[in-house]
Amino acid sequence: MAPKRKSLGRGLSALIPEGAVLEDERGFFLCPIESISPNPYQPRQDFSDADLTELANSIKEKGVIQPILVSRTKDGLQLIAGERRWRAAQKAGLDTIPAWIRDVSPSEALELALVENLQRKDLNPIEEASAYQELMKRFNLTQEAVSTRIGKDRSTVANLLRLLRLPQTLQQDLINNRLTTGHARVLVSIESPSAQRTLRDLIIKKALSVRQTESLAKKLQTKPKDQKVEGNHYLESLASDLQRSLGTKVTIAKRGQKGRIIVEFYSDGELDRLIDRLL
């Protein structure tokens, strides 16, 4: 029977192997920064220049306290973990950086990099969800297997993966903190892209809470009982255009040659805004 694989969900210390190739008694060696290449599968996409500058200033004063982790490749050394420290060390003008070496396959290096980053608290929700997706895709893992590896509930993994269903523009809102994860979870439950955009605009314009957003989402997805426009794509398109223009839910209800246009509002202030817009 093959030996049971150890869990990777125990933090960076679990990534430092026994018997690694070490160059001095302190357990690491000073590696030339220019000999290291970044990890192409780095989950983190957003490296704040202000944060890097702050870390670089700290490194100038106190040095790099936590060594980075690298692996050998045919072209030299490649980062497994510690890209933020590596970037900040370059910004601080260092020529070398403390590093541990671990000889791993490309797939193992990818898994280690993903797991190490996922255990940190400063990935944005889209980066975290993308990392989960990459783990599942690259290693044919289930959500349950991913949750076990990183030490989080399966429901947490599932809820974050759902955020990747959002349009790219809404994902960017989440990355840029215009929307919270709670708002995004409500938006992803809405099937209509136009309704998503309408509600997104209201969230930002009116600084809606998640509870208020949930309430509006239910209204946007509820069709009046007398609405007879199923299959009438022209009327649906007109209603969608009006909805985007007015920034609120619009319904066109038609019976025979007659009908009505329903423009909804959710506060006195919104009513005043709509009246000004229509007049």
Write the pLDDT tens digit of every residue in 133-170: 888 888 888 888 888 877 788 888 899 999 999 999 99
* 196 in any annotated domain: no
* 74 in any annotated domain: yes
- Last residue within a domain, chosen from 103, 121, 152: 103
CATH of the domain at 52: 3.90.1530.30
Instruction: Give the C-alpha separation, 266 to 270, whole Å.
Output: 6
* 270 in any annotated domain: yes
Q: What is the pLDDT of residue 174?
A: 93
Average pLDDT value for the chain: 78
pLDDT band at 173 (very low <50, low <70, confident <90, very high): very high
The residue written with tokens 């066109």 in the block is 252
Q: How far is CA 175 from CA 6, 102, 166, 168, 196, in A?
A: 33, 32, 12, 10, 17
The rounded Cα 210 to chain-centroid distance in angstroms is: 18
Helix, strand, coil share of the chain (percent; to 5):
50, 15, 35
Q: What is the pLDDT of residue 119?
A: 66
CB contact at 8 A, 86 and 99: no
- Last residue within a domain, chosen from 56, 82, 103: 103
Cβ neighbors of 256 (< 8 A, separation 6 or more) are none
pLDDT > 90: percent of the chain: 18
Active centre residues (catalytic): 83
pTM for the whole structure: 0.57
Q: How many folded domains does the chain comprise?
A: 2
* 172 in any annotated domain: no
- Last residue within a domain, chosen from 103, 123, 149: 103
* 189 in any annotated domain: no
- Residue 241, domain extent: 223-279
- Residue-wise pLDDT for 242-261, tens only, equals 777 777 788 888 777 778 88
Instruction: Give the C-alpha separation, 194 to 243, whole Å.
Output: 8
